[in-house]
Structure 1
Amino acid sequence: MVRLLLGLVAALILGLASAQAEPLVIHAGGSAYKFEVEVVTTPETRAQGLMYRKSMAANAGMLFIYPGEQAVSFWMKNTLIPLDMLFLKADGSIAHIAHSAVPLDETPIDSGAAVKAVLEVNGGTAAALGIKEGDRVEYPDRPSR
């Protein structure tokens, strides 16, 4: 039974890891930073997120898209790498940034506002690139304006 469960978890992780990446651009400080992100839109894929991943490429991330704007809360349970969480309004503007969320921490990280999407990138990325609240993100579900 344990072996079967571990096999299912591994299959799920490998399935997410091999998901097709989609382009995303963060516009900050007069620059455009390009990322390749996995887009998750279902409750099941949002629940899994980046759990159990041991690393992520510098220009990679995961984009959680919700059906409408809503307050959301994340945690780092079973997440092994530090993450920056960018909480995005429907217009693509960054409402809030949670910097360098601590791996395995179960403390809730709230959006602070109703958001349409959340972008997770490697911890420290937002600070290193000068990304701030109010900057804009152009992502697959929301074309640029």
Structure 2
Amino acid sequence: MVFSVVLVAGSVQASECQQDRVSIRGDWGQAAFTVEVADDPRERAQGLMFREHMPSSHGMLFLFEKPQQVSFWMKDTLIPLDMLFIQSDGSISHIHENAVPHDTTPIVGGAGVVAVLEVNGGLAARFGIDEGSELQHPAFDQAQAAWPCVASSSD
């Protein structure tokens, strides 16, 4: 099976952030996903429902206005997903792997969640993404970010 997700082992540097891209790093290496951003109630409610396929290099980033406890379900979701629950500094606090399509059981991410990244089920384990891994995205407060964005140079 071929994956088109960028996975880089070794030294990881800060890079310029883009709204439609999330980078993740940890002791296991680095991965990057092209993301759709769901940052309002309507988009968050729709999520990835009714989609029959999502490329392995893609995901959806749910953004919340303030840290809170969030929960998801898979009622009208057709593909298994890994859900990465993220704190305000961009660190992953909880991972729910391989959420089952059509399941109505609430998936709770814990307290203080400001974002959730959904990717295809099994990718977190395949890459070794774990709790404590760090995300880089412009939506995180860059003054608090564990992995801040690099400002683009306009000089």
Please tell me the TM-score bracket, short chain as reference.
0.7 to 0.9
Structure 1 CA distance, aligned partners of 2:36 and 2:79? Answer: 16
Structure 1 CA distance, aligned partners of 2:24 and 2:125? Answer: 13
Aligned residues: 125
Higher alpha-carbon deviation: 71-80 or 30-39: 30-39
Residue 98 of structure 1, aligned match among 89, 96, 120: 96
Aligned residues of 1:22 and 1:140 also touching (Cα < 8 A): no
Residue 124 of structure 2 corresponds to 126
Structure 2 CA distance, aligned partners of 1:60 and 1:83? Answer: 12
Alignment of 1:1-145 (within 5 A): 22-142=20-140, 143=142, 144-145=147-148
Deviation at 1:108, TM superposition (A): 0.1
Aligned residues of 1:88 and 1:96 also touching (Cα < 8 A): yes
Structure 1 gaps, min length 5: 1-20
Deviation at 1:32, TM superposition (A): 1.5
> CA offsets per residue over residues 77-113 of structure 1, 9 Å max, x none?
1000000000000000001000000000000000122
Deviation at 1:30, TM superposition (A): 4.8
Choose between structure 1 and 2: higher helix proportion: 1
Using structure 1 for the length normalisation, give the TM-score: 0.83
Query: What SS is found at the alignment partner of 2:117?
Result: strand
Counterpart of 1:45, as a letter, is E
Higher alpha-carbon deviation: 51-60 or 135-144: 135-144
Deviation at 1:139, TM superposition (A): 1.8
Higher alpha-carbon deviation: 45-54 or 105-114: 105-114
Structure 2 gaps, min length 5: 1-18, 149-155
> Percent identity between the aligned chains?
52
Structure 2 CA distance, aligned partners of 1:43 and 1:82? Answer: 22
CA RMSD of aligned residues (A): 1.2
Counterpart of 1:98, as a letter, is H
Higher alpha-carbon deviation: 45-54 or 30-39: 30-39
